[in-house]
Chain A
Amino acid sequence: DQQVKQNSPSLSVQEGRISILNCDYTNSMFDYFLWYKKYPAEGPTFLISISSIKDKNEDGRFTVFLNKSAKHLSLHIVPSQPGDSAVYFCAASTPGAGSYQLTFGKGTKLSVIP
């Protein structure tokens, strides 16, 4: 059963507007949530993370919001730029002995239209 869900396979947004990517999770033991960006033929790159004890984290144009009661997080990109066009993966961290494992959603393909 999927523990991290991204229900929108794709999203199109006009340049300059806000992009909102959504993610839902089922496991209340997740301690960190992360967003990754992936361009074709490249590995995913880390974008931003948020601890489960916080409800917001901001880094430049990127803000992640966490609603623990709803088990929902979202990534806001403001303003959206054509270079933001990529697949975005939501991931959640499960702590383990000496390491941690990330569980990924299936991704949302964002297209920013000039």
Chain B
Amino acid sequence: NAGVTQTPKFQVLKTGQSMTLQCAQDMNHNSMYWYRQDPGMGLRLIYYSASEGTTDKGEVPNGYNVSRLNKREFSLRLESAAPSQTSVYFCASSEAPVWGYTFGSGTRLTVV
């Protein structure tokens, strides 16, 4: 099925460890996004990529880096995980605001 695929679905990290969250879309969308969802906080934008080769910070970028590998793939990296980064991470892609974003199913990350 067409859509946004995120891997892994679940991950437990120790404080200080690093990891990369992978995201791929097959809808030929130009723009891709990373959001995090925390209880009572809604979804907050971490980074986004308007097109292949460009990335920009969102509302909560500290502690994260991103790479837009090609038009399909947009990865999110935690270099030194902290407990405050325990969250559910969603990747999304879009083409035009009237149709909204298409979200992946999320990665539930726990940092202990």
Binding site for B on A (CB under 8 A): 31-32, 34, 36, 41-46, 49, 51, 89, 91, 93, 95-107
Interface range on chain B (Cβ under 8 Å from partner): 20 to 34
Which residues of A lie under 8 Å from residue B43 when comparing CB positions? 44, 89, 102, 104
Binding site for A on B (CB under 8 A): 4, 30-31, 33, 35, 40-45, 48-51, 54, 58, 90, 92, 94, 97-106
A31 x B97 contact (CB < 8 A): yes
Complex Cα distance A77/B75, Å?
Answer: 36
Across the interface, name the chain B residue whose C-beta is closest to A32: B97
The distance from the CB of A57 to the nearest CB of chain B, in whole angstroms, is: 10
Complex Cα distance A42/B102, Å?
Answer: 12
Best-surrounded residue of A96, A100, A105 (most CB of chain B within 10 A): A100
